[in-house]
Amino acid sequence: MLRQEDLHECCGVFGVYAPGEDVARLTYFALFALQHRGQESAGIATTDGKGIQLHADMGLVSHVFNEDSLSKLSGDIAIGHNRYSTRGSSRVYNTQPLLVGTGSNSIAIAHNGNIINAEHLYEELSDQGYIFHTTTDTEVIADLILSSPEKSWIDKIRYAMHRLQGAYSLVFMTNDTLFGVRDPFGVRPLCLGAIDTGWVIASESCALDHIGANFIREIEPGEIVSINENGVNSYREEVSRKALCIFEYIYFARPDSVINGRLLYSARLAMGEGLAEEHPVAADLVMGVPDSATAAGIGYSHRSNIPVGEGLLKNRYMGRTFIEPDQRIRDLGVKLKFNPLPQLLEGKRLVVVDDSIVRGTTTPKVVKLLKKAGAKEVHMRICAPPIRYPCFFGVDMATRWELIAAQKTVPEVRDFIGADSLGHLSIDGLIKAVALPGEIFCTACFTGDYPIPVQLEMDKLALETMSQRGLLA
């Protein structure tokens, strides 16, 4: 659904090693395919073996680059980045890729994730004399790599990996080598592909499809991949527990991407089927909130035999914009994004399938919009279980106290959003829909079981108190 005030992925990354190719243009098209992962800024860095050129700015990929800027980015290696900020403000100096270091000890780096111990590492590196030019944890990662006493780049990266806590899928390059790095939990996705003349690394496989690259494999949790004139080499760190973000399957990744061998469209279809099994209801029409819940809506229809249709049309060209709307325009809320079809909705009992409810600021507006357009009943069905804990791994959700499911029971949320009924897919139902072993996933925002200890003691205490008072469903 509309997530500008709710749920944000933090970034998309891409890298290519392909001597003789127009690597900047390949990266440009790959960033287009990854635009859904971040819309605040975009950037591309290339190297011709002698130095690194960079072009990055605020805005969408289509705004940031033109023929002139692309033609100045020459070389055999490129990396690119789309950003949504979770740490570090939305400012031009925080755009990525970042250039860090000097001479042969310089790198360009792009990051998807969130480093939990960044503050501590920042202070440690500052004490060593490192001067920071941005407020991002990506610069902390880069300086940590450069500060390593080790000689080889692989050992420098290993040194950094042993110190970093949190989520990071990285692409970075030196003058002659492209690296892909995935944290030992594998929280954010990263995959390897091939083109005729070289290799690519991307957050999602949909970026490979658009540039004619073949999917080779996932980059594994704890893996470092280096690509240069010696080919592709892989180095693995020990992994104690995998924790891929299950929200990639619910909402973040594109439905045409494949992660761990599972097409996201099929997973979302199965989520809708699971919702129909767990929360059946008598209704006339099923609709998925476009675009993220379209497949789940179809799945609900398949399993329930209730016809599926489009009751809301989405204004597809309303991306994140840097023209701040004034209050009057902001008050239009979901009307800016969705237009209902009263002719289809009049007198109907609707099942409305959506991906998630986070703060609960958008869903009441959608329910109101549909009822105003003539719907007789609105039954909300949600692919994500209730979100009761914040994310510390790169998803800008909300604080605990802003999460509606941490404050209200399911029936209370139903009343708050103005729906006739509300049903969430269970965690077991979600895992069944994804059709992969449950133990490879992070589900912490539903369960509070974080793969890494986080500062949540106060929150846990508060939740126990709420539970004792019968506030949690």
- Residues near ligand SF4 (CB under 6 A) are 187, 245-247, 391, 393, 395, 442-445
Phi/psi of residue 96, nearest 5 degrees: -130, 160
Helix (H), strand (E) counts: the chain:
18, 23
Q: For ligand SF4, which is the closer residue by CB, 59 or 186?
A: 186
Catalytic residue among 11, 191, 383, 445: 11
Cβ–Cβ < 8 Å for 135, 92: no
Of 247, 244, 204, 183, nearest in space to 397 by CA: 247
In the residue annotation, 206 being an active-site residue is answered as no
Cβ–Cβ < 8 Å for 283, 379: yes
Q: For ligand SF4, which is the closer residue by CB, 253 or 298?
A: 253
Q: For ligand SF4, which is the closer residue by CB, 186 or 333?
A: 186
Residue 97 CB, nearest distance to ligand SF4 (Å)? 23
Residue 182 CB, nearest distance to ligand SF4 (Å)? 14
CA-based torsion, 380, 381, 382, 388: positive or negative: positive
Residue 87 CB, nearest distance to ligand SF4 (Å)? 14
Instruction: Give dist(CA 367, CA 419) in Å, integer.
Output: 6
- Strand pairing of 349-354 and 377-382? parallel
Identify residue 111 by its one-letter amino acid code. Answer: H
Tokens of 71: 């033609």
Instruction: Give dist(CA 211, CA 317) in Å, integer.
Output: 22
Cβ–Cβ < 8 Å for 218, 190: yes
Residue 384 CB, nearest distance to ligand SF4 (Å)? 9
Q: For ligand SF4, which is the closer residue by CB, 423 or 451?
A: 451
Q: For ligand SF4, which is the closer residue by CB, 28 or 249?
A: 249
Give strand ranges (E) for 97-188.
98-100, 107-115, 166-173, 178-182
Residue 270 CB, nearest distance to ligand SF4 (Å)? 18
Indicate which residues carry an active-site annotation.
11
